[in-house]
Amino acid sequence: MGMIASVIDGLGVWNWWVLAGIMLVLELLTASFFFLWLGAAAAIVGVIMFFFDWSWQVQISIFAVLAVLLLVASRLWLKPGGGTSDRQLNRRAGRLVGRVYDLEEPIANGSGKIKVGDTVWLVRGSDLPKGKAVKVVGSEGTALLVEPAG
């Protein structure tokens, strides 16, 4: 038996705990949210092996099935669109809905501009003079939809 095989055989059930530790260190180094689930699968197999003495083929099969299940479950659970997603957090126009601003440029022929902080936004709504207060009621592409405030 080779040196590596004898070390692996000598560790016994601790192989899975060592593998789990290596996977978690890799997760810390890469922050990929991939190795975390492989480490969790290895740790679960390590716990199971405390109670059962199965062959290495069965152990690897259990690890493979758990790893796939945990990876798929994590992708479904953490998928964008469920809960608060990056797409919702990065929708700047959506965060402006309900706020009131003064027109930087008059709304003429349905289009005008407001200034929000240091950013100038295109607005659409009924024609209004410069300086008139408008309330943001929605967005359409990169333009804000406004109506007279008041």
CATH number at residue 131: 2.40.50.140
Give the per-residue pLDDT at 79: 65
Domain that holds residue 122: 89-148
Interatomic CA distance for residues 41 and 63, integer angstroms: 6
- Give residue-wise pLDDT tens across range 61-92: 999 999 999 999 888 887 655 444 444 444 67
Q: Which residue(s) pair with 115 in the sheet?
A: 120
- Give residue-wise pLDDT tens across range 30-63: 877 889 999 999 999 999 988 988 888 888 899 9
Domain shared by 97 and 122, yes or no: yes
Domain shared by 15 and 58, yes or no: yes
| Distance, C-alpha 39 to centroid of its chain | 20
Give the per-residue pLDDT at 78: 73
Is the CB of residue 76 less than 8 Å from the CB of residue 69? Answer: no
Domain shared by 8 and 51, yes or no: yes
- pLDDT tier for residue 4 given thresholds of 50, 70 and 90: low
In a domain, 83, yes or no: no
In a domain, 94, yes or no: yes
Give the per-residue pLDDT at 55: 83
Of the candidates 92, 138, 115, 133, the residue with the CA atom closest to the CA atom of residue 124: 138
* Global model pTM greater than 0.75: no
In a domain, 84, yes or no: no
In a domain, 82, yes or no: no
